[in-house]
Amino acid sequence: MASNLPAPEGADLQDQPTAGAWGEWNPTEDSVRPVRGKHRVAKPRGGLARSSTVLGVGVIAAVGAGGIATAQDRPQVAISMPSFPGLTDDADDAGDSGDSGRDAANGPGSSDRADTASGAPAARAGLLTQHAQSGSGAGEVLLNRILQQAESQQDAASAQDRAQAELAAKEAAAKEAKEQAEAARRAADKEAEDARVAAEKVAADAKAKADAAAEQARGAKASGAFSLPTSAYTLTSHYGDSGSMWSSGHHTGLDFAAPTGTPVKAVGSGKITSAGWSGAYGYRIVLQLDDGTEIWYCHLSSMSVTSGAVGAGETIGRVGATGNVTGAHLHLEVRKGGSTTDPLAWLTSKGLNV
């Protein structure tokens, strides 16, 4: 592009470069250098642009509201601010119009000095006061938030303690119930064991009695028509034993010690010829067998049959302790032709196991 400006005085027209010498100027972002100097930039409006220093002032004010320190308690310090968004539009416009007049009168740089000297200190003072006031409210909010968080944490801790206490109570109740159930189980086991032992004892006693009855039946069958005079006995005195207890100086019978009331049976078939009180013999029954042998049953507590015929093994009385005795027993005598004989030998001869 050719220039239409006049050539300076004293310059030769031949020395002026032509368009072809310089070429066409086509600027690019590499060839264009950044413009130096002061250029005003539109200031952001509608919000507060905070620098790191302004944020620091706000934090100090917030902490001061909590009771530690406030920005107002400290002396104000001049702070270099990059921008002051608190200024109004009118002030900005007035500053812009004033800058043009002062720039024209004072020359380059006068606008910057005027801004620094007049508007900056006042803006900084107002901004500090505004931040101090707003910081006090922020500190109260922060304090309230901290208190709310502490209360929430305390409520959570209390709820956790209650939950732990309830869990401990449930565990203790479960443990106690388990112990009670275990004690009840042990008691039931003991009762069952005692019942089992008692049942076994009853069964053993019944078996023993059944065996004794069977043995007695077998003895009676083996003897043909003879039976033992009693059961559940112990032989205490035999025939011929000597002592002062017997009037003849020696024992004339065989003693079967047994509890009072034990049944007394006929050793063989025959008939009862005598039954009643007989002095030292107490209550006595005399049974005469078919072959004439007499069997005397002495010291009886009671007499069931006092006369008539009886068969072998039939109950005729009960063991007792009447007459000249020291305890309950059956005194059995066997007499042939009026003379006594050994009852043990006689019973054995009849096939009885005494």
- Give the per-residue pLDDT at 84: 47
> Which token pair is 78?
């001049």
For residue 295, what pLDDT band results from cuts at 50, 70 and 90?
Answer: very high
Helix (H), strand (E) at residue 195: helix 120-223
Q: How many CA atoms lie within 13 A of 312 on its CB side?
A: 19
Identify whether the C-beta of residue 38 lies closer than 8 Å to the C-beta of residue 111: yes
Q: Once rounded to an integer, what is the mean pLDDT over residues 256-267?
A: 96
* CA atoms of 300 and 28, how far apart (whole Å): 155
Identify whether the C-beta of residue 253 lies closer than 8 Å to the C-beta of residue 240: no
Q: Once rounded to an integer, what is the mean pLDDT over residues 175-203?
A: 92
Report CA torsion sign: 329, 335, 338, 339: negative
Q: Which residue has the higher pLDDT, 132 or 168?
A: 168
* CA atoms of 349 and 352, how far apart (whole Å): 7
Q: How far is CA 96 from CA 10, 17, 101, 119, 216, in A?
A: 42, 42, 9, 12, 147
pLDDT tens sequence across 3-49:
444 544 544 444 555 544 555 556 665 555 555 555 555 555 544 44
Q: Once rounded to an integer, what is the mean pLDDT over residues 113-117?
A: 45
Helix (H), strand (E) at residue 285: strand 283-289
Checking DSSP bridges between strand 339-341 and strand 263-265, what pairing results, if any? unpaired
- Give the per-residue pLDDT at 98: 46
Q: Once rounded to an integer, what is the mean pLDDT over residues 234-252?
A: 76
pLDDT for residue 333 is more than 50: yes
- Give the per-residue pLDDT at 173: 92
- Which residues neighbour 213 within 8 Å (Cβ) at sequence distance 6 or greater? none
Q: Which residue has the higher pLDDT, 332 or 106?
A: 332
Q: Once rounded to an integer, what is the mean pLDDT over residues 239-264?
A: 82
- Give the per-residue pLDDT at 279: 92
Average pLDDT of the chain to the nearest whole number: 74
pLDDT for residue 265 is more than 50: yes
CA-based Rg of the chain, rounded to a whole angstrom? 71
pLDDT for residue 329 is more than 80: yes
